[in-house]
Copies of this chain bind each other. A is one copy, B any other.
Protein backbone atom coordinates (compact mmCIF):
# COMPACT_ATOMS: atom_id res chain seq x y z
CA UNK A 1 0.00 0.00 0.00
CA UNK A 2 1.40 3.40 -0.93
CA UNK A 3 2.02 5.78 1.98
CA UNK A 4 -0.30 8.75 2.42
CA UNK A 5 0.45 12.38 1.62
CA UNK A 6 1.09 15.04 4.20
CA UNK A 7 -0.38 18.49 3.62
CA UNK A 8 0.65 21.56 5.62
CA UNK A 9 -2.40 23.75 5.22
CA UNK A 10 -2.31 27.49 5.99
CA UNK A 11 -5.73 28.76 7.08
CA UNK A 12 -5.02 32.48 7.07
CA UNK A 13 -5.32 34.88 9.99
CA UNK A 14 -8.54 33.66 11.63
CA UNK A 15 -11.52 34.67 9.49
CA UNK A 16 -12.87 31.38 8.01
CA UNK A 17 -13.64 33.28 4.80
CA UNK A 18 -9.93 33.97 4.33
CA UNK A 19 -9.28 30.25 3.83
CA UNK A 20 -8.26 29.54 0.23
CA UNK A 21 -10.35 27.37 -2.09
CA UNK A 22 -7.43 24.93 -2.27
CA UNK A 23 -7.20 24.58 1.52
CA UNK A 24 -10.94 23.93 1.70
CA UNK A 25 -10.79 21.26 -1.01
CA UNK A 26 -7.83 19.48 0.57
CA UNK A 27 -9.52 19.43 3.97
CA UNK A 28 -12.58 17.86 2.34
CA UNK A 29 -10.42 15.17 0.69
CA UNK A 30 -8.00 14.02 3.39
CA UNK A 31 -8.57 11.21 5.87
CA UNK A 32 -7.04 12.78 8.98
CA UNK A 33 -6.92 16.39 10.18
CA UNK A 34 -4.25 17.37 12.73
CA UNK A 35 -5.14 20.33 14.90
CA UNK A 36 -2.61 22.00 17.20
CA UNK A 37 -3.60 22.97 20.75
CA UNK A 38 -1.50 24.84 23.30
CA UNK A 39 -2.96 23.21 26.45
CA UNK A 40 -4.75 19.93 27.17
CA UNK A 41 -8.50 20.56 27.06
CA UNK A 42 -8.16 23.87 25.26
CA UNK A 43 -10.04 24.38 22.01
CA UNK A 44 -8.11 24.55 18.74
CA UNK A 45 -8.76 27.86 16.98
CA UNK A 46 -7.59 26.31 13.71
CA UNK A 47 -10.01 23.39 14.05
CA UNK A 48 -12.97 25.69 14.75
CA UNK A 49 -12.21 27.55 11.53
CA UNK A 50 -12.55 24.42 9.39
CA UNK A 51 -15.38 22.59 11.18
CA UNK A 52 -17.75 22.63 8.18
CA UNK A 53 -15.16 20.84 6.01
CA UNK A 54 -13.96 18.06 8.31
CA UNK A 55 -17.12 16.33 9.50
CA UNK A 56 -16.71 12.59 10.05
CA UNK A 57 -12.92 12.67 9.68
CA UNK A 58 -10.39 11.52 12.24
CA UNK A 59 -9.27 14.59 14.19
CA UNK A 60 -5.84 14.25 15.75
CA UNK A 61 -5.23 16.96 18.36
CA UNK A 62 -1.55 17.65 18.86
CA UNK A 63 -0.19 19.40 21.93
CA UNK A 64 2.42 22.14 21.44
CA UNK A 65 2.84 24.15 24.62
CA UNK A 66 3.47 27.88 24.19
CA UNK A 67 7.18 28.04 24.63
CA UNK A 68 10.18 29.38 22.76
CA UNK A 69 12.86 26.89 23.81
CA UNK A 70 13.30 24.27 21.05
CA UNK A 71 14.73 21.77 23.54
CA UNK A 72 11.51 21.85 25.51
CA UNK A 73 9.37 21.69 22.37
CA UNK A 74 11.28 18.94 20.56
CA UNK A 75 9.59 15.99 22.36
CA UNK A 76 6.20 17.40 21.32
CA UNK A 77 7.31 17.73 17.71
CA UNK A 78 8.65 14.13 17.87
CA UNK A 79 5.40 12.79 19.30
CA UNK A 80 3.33 14.65 16.69
CA UNK A 81 5.65 13.39 13.93
CA UNK A 82 5.31 9.79 15.12
CA UNK A 83 1.51 9.96 15.28
CA UNK A 84 1.32 11.44 11.80
CA UNK A 85 3.77 8.86 10.38
CA UNK A 86 1.55 6.07 11.73
CA UNK A 87 -1.37 7.39 9.67
CA UNK A 88 0.76 7.93 6.57
CA UNK A 89 2.00 4.32 6.78
CA UNK A 90 -1.64 3.16 6.77
CA UNK A 91 -2.02 4.97 3.44
CA UNK A 92 -4.02 7.82 4.94
CA UNK A 93 -3.68 11.39 3.69
CA UNK A 94 -3.12 13.82 6.54
CA UNK A 95 -3.66 17.60 6.73
CA UNK A 96 -1.81 19.56 9.41
CA UNK A 97 -3.75 22.81 9.80
CA UNK A 98 -2.09 26.00 10.91
CA UNK A 99 -3.27 29.59 11.47
CA UNK A 100 -1.62 32.02 9.03
CA UNK A 101 0.94 30.57 6.66
CA UNK A 102 2.84 27.29 7.22
CA UNK A 103 6.23 28.75 6.17
CA UNK A 104 5.98 31.75 8.46
CA UNK A 105 6.87 31.10 12.11
CA UNK A 106 4.75 27.95 12.21
CA UNK A 107 4.96 24.68 14.15
CA UNK A 108 4.32 22.80 10.93
CA UNK A 109 7.91 23.48 9.89
CA UNK A 110 9.31 21.61 12.88
CA UNK A 111 6.97 18.66 12.57
CA UNK A 112 7.54 18.45 8.82
CA UNK A 113 11.29 18.21 9.32
CA UNK A 114 10.82 15.21 11.60
CA UNK A 115 8.46 13.47 9.19
CA UNK A 116 10.83 14.13 6.29
CA UNK A 117 13.48 12.17 8.18
CA UNK A 118 11.30 9.32 9.43
CA UNK A 119 9.13 8.75 6.38
CA UNK A 120 11.22 9.63 3.38
CA UNK A 121 8.75 8.19 0.87
CA UNK A 122 5.87 10.41 2.02
CA UNK A 123 5.04 13.29 -0.28
CA UNK A 124 4.82 16.59 1.60
CA UNK A 125 2.80 19.45 0.11
CA UNK A 126 2.57 22.92 1.65
CA UNK A 127 -0.50 25.04 0.91
CA UNK A 128 0.29 28.69 1.58
CA UNK A 129 -2.16 30.88 3.47
CA UNK A 130 -2.73 34.57 4.10
CA UNK A 131 -0.10 35.50 6.70
CA UNK A 132 -1.44 37.47 9.64
CA UNK A 133 0.74 40.49 8.89
CA UNK A 134 -0.96 40.86 5.51
CA UNK A 135 -4.37 40.82 7.18
CA UNK A 136 -3.19 43.52 9.58
CA UNK A 137 -2.38 45.91 6.82
CA UNK A 138 -5.56 45.04 4.98
CA UNK A 139 -7.43 45.81 8.22
CA UNK A 140 -5.70 49.16 8.48
CA UNK A 141 -6.16 49.87 4.74
CA UNK A 142 -2.49 50.81 4.72
CA UNK A 143 0.29 49.61 2.45
CA UNK A 144 2.70 47.23 4.13
CA UNK A 145 5.35 48.19 1.59
CA UNK A 146 5.17 50.32 -1.51
CA UNK A 147 7.46 50.95 -4.49
CA UNK A 148 11.05 51.23 -3.22
CA UNK A 149 10.30 50.42 0.43
CA UNK A 150 12.05 47.87 2.60
CA UNK A 151 10.35 45.55 5.07
CA UNK A 152 11.80 43.72 8.08
CA UNK A 153 9.94 41.13 10.16
CA UNK A 154 11.11 39.35 13.31
CA UNK A 155 9.96 38.20 16.74
CA UNK A 156 10.48 41.27 18.93
CA UNK A 157 12.40 39.55 21.69
CA UNK A 158 15.17 38.42 19.34
CA UNK A 159 15.88 41.79 17.75
CA UNK A 160 15.61 44.48 20.39
CA UNK A 161 19.35 44.90 20.77
CA UNK A 162 19.82 45.46 17.05
CA UNK A 163 16.64 47.47 16.51
CA UNK A 164 18.31 50.86 16.38
CA UNK A 165 20.72 49.78 13.65
CA UNK A 166 18.11 47.84 11.70
CA UNK A 167 15.68 50.77 11.75
CA UNK A 168 18.13 52.86 9.70
CA UNK A 169 17.70 50.57 6.69
CA UNK A 170 13.98 49.84 6.70
CA UNK A 171 10.74 51.73 6.06
CA UNK A 172 8.48 49.24 7.79
CA UNK A 173 9.35 46.89 10.65
CA UNK A 174 6.91 44.31 11.99
CA UNK A 175 7.67 43.04 15.48
CA UNK A 176 5.99 39.67 16.03
CA UNK A 177 5.07 37.96 19.30
CA UNK A 178 5.13 41.13 21.38
CA UNK A 179 2.83 40.00 24.20
CA UNK A 180 5.52 38.02 26.01
CA UNK A 181 7.81 40.96 26.70
CA UNK A 182 5.57 43.92 26.00
CA UNK A 183 6.88 46.27 28.70
CA UNK A 184 10.48 45.77 27.64
CA UNK A 185 9.62 46.45 23.99
CA UNK A 186 7.59 49.54 24.88
CA UNK A 187 10.48 51.00 26.89
CA UNK A 188 12.98 50.26 24.14
CA UNK A 189 10.84 51.95 21.47
CA UNK A 190 10.36 54.94 23.76
CA UNK A 191 14.11 55.19 24.31
CA UNK A 192 14.76 55.07 20.54
CA UNK A 193 12.17 57.78 19.89
CA UNK A 194 10.07 55.37 17.82
CA UNK A 195 6.91 55.36 19.93
CA UNK A 196 5.03 57.75 17.65
CA UNK A 197 5.71 55.57 14.62
CA UNK A 198 4.42 52.44 16.36
CA UNK A 199 0.96 50.88 16.10
CA UNK A 200 -0.24 47.86 18.04
CA UNK A 201 -2.51 45.48 16.11
CA UNK A 202 -4.24 42.44 17.55
CA UNK A 203 -6.32 39.56 16.18
CA UNK A 204 -5.84 40.54 12.54
CA UNK A 205 -8.33 39.15 10.10
CA UNK A 206 -10.91 38.32 12.77
CA UNK A 207 -14.01 40.18 13.96
CA UNK A 208 -12.06 41.21 17.09
CA UNK A 209 -9.44 43.06 15.04
CA UNK A 210 -8.02 45.90 17.12
CA UNK A 211 -5.48 48.59 16.40
CA UNK A 212 -4.19 51.53 18.43
CA UNK A 213 -1.25 53.93 18.47
CA UNK A 214 1.22 52.18 20.74
CA UNK A 215 1.48 55.21 23.03
CA UNK A 216 -2.17 54.78 24.03
CA UNK A 217 -1.96 51.08 24.84
CA UNK A 218 -2.44 50.29 28.53
CA UNK A 219 -2.51 46.98 30.35
CA UNK A 220 -2.31 43.44 29.03
CA UNK A 221 -1.78 42.75 25.35
CA UNK A 222 -3.45 39.88 23.49
CA UNK A 223 -1.29 36.90 22.47
CA UNK A 224 -2.09 37.45 18.76
CA UNK A 225 -0.54 40.93 18.68
CA UNK A 226 2.22 42.62 16.77
CA UNK A 227 3.74 46.07 16.64
CA UNK A 228 4.15 47.83 13.32
CA UNK A 229 6.71 50.58 12.86
CA UNK A 230 5.89 52.63 9.74
CA UNK A 231 7.48 55.55 7.96
CA UNK A 232 10.87 54.97 9.55
CA UNK A 233 12.86 56.50 6.73
CA UNK A 234 10.11 58.83 5.51
Contact = CB atoms under 8 A, between A and B. Distances in A.
Contacts of A152: 150-153, 170
Nearest to A155: B148
A197 interface: no
Most buried by B among A10, A130, A145: A130
Contacts of A131: 131, 134
Interface string A153-167: 111001100100110
* Main DSSP-derived SS at the A contact region: mixed
A50 B141 CA distance: 23
A18 B21 contact: yes
Contact-size category for A: 35 or more
Interface string A196-226: 0000000001000000000000000000000
A147 interface: yes
A4 interface: no
A172 to B, nearest CB: 9
A130 B158 contact: no
Nearest to A172: B153
Contacts of A134: 10, 101, 103-104, 128-129, 131
A184 to B, nearest CB: 16
- Top 5 A-B pairs, shortest CB-CB distance: A103-B137, A17-B22, A150-B154, A126-B138, A128-B138
